[in-house]
């Protein structure tokens, strides 16, 4: 199942800072339903497309919604900055076996 949405880019400041795209509430509910049985410790494997750049990652649950980790290479190629809205396409990785 594929999803497209626009969400806000947020920065998590920890020992190793990371940027995430916050999945809107409506899409989070749709993904939860579609991902039943795919999740592992709450994470959902996906393939993501941002501005033509494809990469695999996993959605992280946080405060009732999902967060999409944004890889540095994809952020740099797309010129992504924190606190901006970003359009993203994601597909569930049904056959991924690296979990």
* Domain assignment of residue 18, yes or no: yes
For residue 84, being part of any structural domain is answered with: yes
State the CB neighbour count (10 A cutoff) for residue 95. Answer: 7
DSSP secondary structure letters along the chain: -EEEEEEEEEEE-SSS-EEEEEPPHHHHHHHHHHTTTT-BTTBEEEEEEETTEEEEEEEEEETTEEEEE--HHHHHHHT--TTSEEEEEEEE-TT----
Of 7-11, 24-28, 57-61, 70-74, the poorest mean pLDDT is in 70-74
CATH number at residue 15: 2.40.30.100
Q: Is residue 14 part of a domain?
A: yes
What is the average pLDDT across 51-67?
A: 91
Q: How far apart are CA 45 and CA 59, in angstroms?
A: 6
The pLDDT tens digits of the residues spanning 10-32 come to 998 877 778 999 999 999 999 99
pTM of structure: 0.82
Number of domains the chain is built from? 1
């Amino acid at each position: 199942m594929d999803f497209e949405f626009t969400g806000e880019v947020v920065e998590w400041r920890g020992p190793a800072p990371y940027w995430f795209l916050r999945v809107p509430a409506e899409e989070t509910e749709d993904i939860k339903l579609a991902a039943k049985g795919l999740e592992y410790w709450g994470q959902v494997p996906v393939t993501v497309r941002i501005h033509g750049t494809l990469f695999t990652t996993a959605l992280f649950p946080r405060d009732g919604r999902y967060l999409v980790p944004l890889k540095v290479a994809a952020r740099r190629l797309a010129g992504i900055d924190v606190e901006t809205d970003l359009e993203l396409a994601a597909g569930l990785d049904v056959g991924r076996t690296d979990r």
